[in-house]
Amino acid sequence: MSKSLLYIQVLLLLMFVSIISACSAVSKEVEKDSVVEKKPSLAIIYGFDVKKEALWFLVKSNGCTKENNFTLTSKTVDNKTTEFSLLRSKRDLCRGLPKIISITMPINNADTDDNHYVIANPISPKPERIKR
């Protein structure tokens, strides 16, 4: 009986070690995208609208996305066209169910009166599927 008890103990120890080592392994995705934010990147948007003093965007959130996670940059393409880029400066590391939220980014109305607007961000017609 003592041999079977020893066998069970060794088996449980091996299972415990394998579970612990599996939990500590880092996936390639986490390795590639470190927790430290690199440089701001173009955010995927799901819709936008031009208001009088602001631009309104639909973006994906996992629960922690706020307006201050984004910066809005603009550049003049020609005399009548201004190109805007919505850059995500902080990743949303929450693990909530992804949903689409709206954010409003103010623009300087004096610089953009009577201009045409161009959005440089990629536009998705529906939220991307999360690959697991």
What is the tens place of the pLDDT at every residue in 71-110?
999 998 888 888 999 999 998 888 888 899 999 999 875 5
111 and 52 within one domain? yes
Among 86, 95, 39, which residue's Cα sits nearest to residue 59?
Answer: 86
What six digits make up the tokens of 116?
Answer: 């045409």
63 and 20 within one domain? no
83 and 115 within one domain? yes
As for how many domains the chain has, the answer is: 2
Please report, for residues 31, 81, 83, 85, the alpha-carbon distance to residue 77 in angstroms, rounded to integers and kept in the order given.
38, 5, 6, 13
- pLDDT at residue number 77: 86
Range of the domain at 26: 2-32
- pLDDT at residue number 38: 64
- pLDDT at residue number 114: 64
Evaluate if residue 121 carries a pLDDT over 80: yes
72 and 115 within one domain? yes
- pLDDT at residue number 59: 93
For residue 127, is it within any domain? no
- pLDDT at residue number 127: 60
75 and 23 within one domain? no
pTM (predicted TM-score)? 0.63
Q: How far apart are the first and last CA of the chain?
A: 45
83 and 49 within one domain? yes
Evaluate if residue 16 carries a pLDDT over 70: yes
Beta bridge partners of 61: 99
100 and 62 within one domain? yes
What is the tens place of the pLDDT at every residue in 20-72?
766 555 444 444 555 555 688 899 999 999 888 899 999 999 999 999 999 99
For residue 126, is it within any domain? no
Evaluate if residue 120 carries a pLDDT over 90: yes
